[in-house]
Structure 1
């Protein structure tokens, strides 16, 4: 971990104090010599006076350096406390990933072929991308403004997102459906809370489409197509869904990830480059798929605090949290929402990055 210890350099104040001390010493010596008629041989008592004078002067300097040393010791203690807490948060964050486990929707048995750890984000990403495409297809013959619960809500969101509103809306709905899942226990929560700003009729129709998609381990009698009404109700109520949801397994992961980065960002004892290096340690442990899912998370209401909340922390851009996403990977352009991230495939840094270093 990066420490506050650097090659020591005198500050401007220290240089000024040293200059004043040498000037006073020269003044005292010259005054004594002048008092003896410019004879460099003068009495011992005169030397005692000079020594007493300079002793008092250096006592003042000693007090200054003592205070400075105590301040540096407090800073060192603060840094050590920060590093200890930060490492614990990072540790818990990675533990959430390593312990996570979801059923594989492509497996014929729910208790076998579980998807674990980092591989979860591969499934998460692929389902978000598929959901984005399905939502786009669903909205092809509909007026986009009608997707919102009221015209006022549409105009409000348009004022915030401008020409990025459609991409943001599709990605946000797709993320929430994928994250929460479409099992029966999450249906009301999705409609009444997380997707309440959208037209309830459209959301109901979308959710019905996703509920029809059963996992391979669902009972075979439900997977057989039929127009029977009771059969369709059973399919809707069945919890063995392809879009099972990820909230239960990695819900804490995003909260811990945000806490870790926000904790570093709030450290006033660190310079920007030092903060960047700490966050870089965390980012180095994230896979590309984790960064992609983080991108989608930051566009939904749950993750706006990363960049698009009124607090304007710009955490994703400031610390290049999604810089390792391969070019042209996503259906929703991440470069459009985060143009000042220095992606690894870029040859030159975006001009907007200069403000962070300043």
Structure 2
């Protein structure tokens, strides 16, 4: 539109100048009136009005177009300034969210207090611990994942890559949800509600019971007991968990492998769980980050290149471990809206191909290369290129 008006203005200006020059030279030449030659410049008053009417109108149209362009440019500039003010305020709030993070964690030989971006390293390490513990309980996909949920994960995977392992997606989601919500009383209720429609009932209840047994390292006796428990084969772990479950329900236990003292000890709930949850840290952090990128992505006064430059500015604020945890979050059901289940406006009679096309327009992670800076080709066995194959990773440049 802007280019068209500029070309039209230039054309009208050239046309007006051309007409003026033509009549100036044409009317300056002598010609005959009643057989007598006269200089036409002596009697050009009426003709001048005629020329002025045409040329003046052309110049007026040119001026109007240029005024409109100037007004439009000013409006665009005002909107740009308003966008930048809001965007950089969001960027400031993001920095504040990170600066306010604190996490204390007991390690094998000392207590570590992490602040700011270092918190993400501890949370990611906690996720990996949980992932390997969850992995032991996922032996066969069909045994534990309900068919409906398995089909849903398969549809998501097929849209992205044929190499995605549905079982890995389920394990990542399970471990991340446990780390996110924690395994306290409230967290266990949330997890039970979320897992009930996805996994076999006995499977996820035994898994949560096992995860719940893990205490903080300060409780040395319980922690050593859990370490021993963890070293047992999964079949033995499941058997002992069922005994504990029956003990709590006051059901009859046949062929017990745990003594009464062990059952009473394990059944106690007066200890701090290892997975206390990070919802109060990560929930606000990821919601704010998501809303910031949505605000950028759907802004109408920026072209794609400009949006990417602003998105790159925000991405530069994310540390490596932030991007690593962000990658895990995006695969889980808590963060699939970033890309795997991107938002879209559905209309009637849309088929799956149309839905997929609309979703691809809102693939925020790929559009802004949000995990571009992850090192190498994989992270603790997770090949991020499998899930986001179109990103231009820094390690390839």
Q: How many residues align?
A: 330
Alpha carbons of structure 1 residues 248 and 108: separation in structure 2 relative to 1, 3 Å: farther
1:209: Cα distance to partner? 2.2
Q: 2:19 aligns with which of 13, 21, 27?
A: 27
1:144 aligns with 2:141: yes
Residue in 1 aligned with 2:252?
Answer: none
- Residues 172 and 332, structure 2, Cα contact 8 Å, conserved in 1: yes
1:63 is displaced (CA, Å) by 1.4
Q: 1:194 to 1:38 in 2, by over 3 A?
A: farther
Does residue 16 of the first structure (1) align with residue 33 of the second (2)? no
Offset of residue 13 of structure 1:
3.4
Whether 1:321 aligns to 2:374 is no
Please state how far the C-alpha of 1:104 moved relative to its aligned partner. 0.8
Q: Identify which range, 257-266 or 113-122, moves more after superposition.
A: 113-122
The residue that corresponds to 2:324 in the other structure is 292
Aligned equivalent of 2:179: 178
C-alpha separation in 2, matches of 1:84 and 1:247: 29
4+ aligned runs moved over 6 Å, structure 1: 38-41
Separation of aligned partners in 2, 1:322 and 1:231: 45
Provide closer, same or farther for how the CA distance between residues 105 and 205 of structure 1 changes in structure 2, counting only shifts above 3 A: farther
2:289 to 238, 257, 263: 257
Secondary structure at the aligned position of 2:136 is classed as helix
Q: TM-score, with normalisation over the residues of structure 1?
A: 0.84
Aligned mates of 2:198, 2:308 — CA distance in 1: 36
Structure 2 residue runs of 5 or longer lacking an equivalent are: 32-38, 227-257, 345-358
- Find the counterpart in structure 1 of residue 58 from structure 2: 57
| TM-score of the superposed pair, with normalisation by structure 2 | 0.76
Tell me how far 1:56 sits from its aligned partner. 3.1
Change (3 A) 1:137 1:107: closer
Identify the residue that residue 198 of structure 2 maps to in structure 1. Answer: 197
Q: Which structure is richer in relative contact order (CA contacts within 8 A, separation 6 or more)?
A: 1
Inter-CA distance 105–195: structure 2 relative to 1 (3 Å threshold): farther
Q: Show the counterpart of 2:242.
A: none
Structure-2 residue corresponding to 1:209: 210
- For residue 225 of structure 2, give the secondary structure of its aligned residue in structure 1: coil
Q: Deviations over 1:66-114 (max 9, x none)?
A: 11111111111111111111112222222111111223132889xx643
| Counterpart position of 1:225 | 225
Distance 1:83 1:306 in 2: 23
Contact 2:180–2:282 (CA under 8 A) maintained in structure 1: no
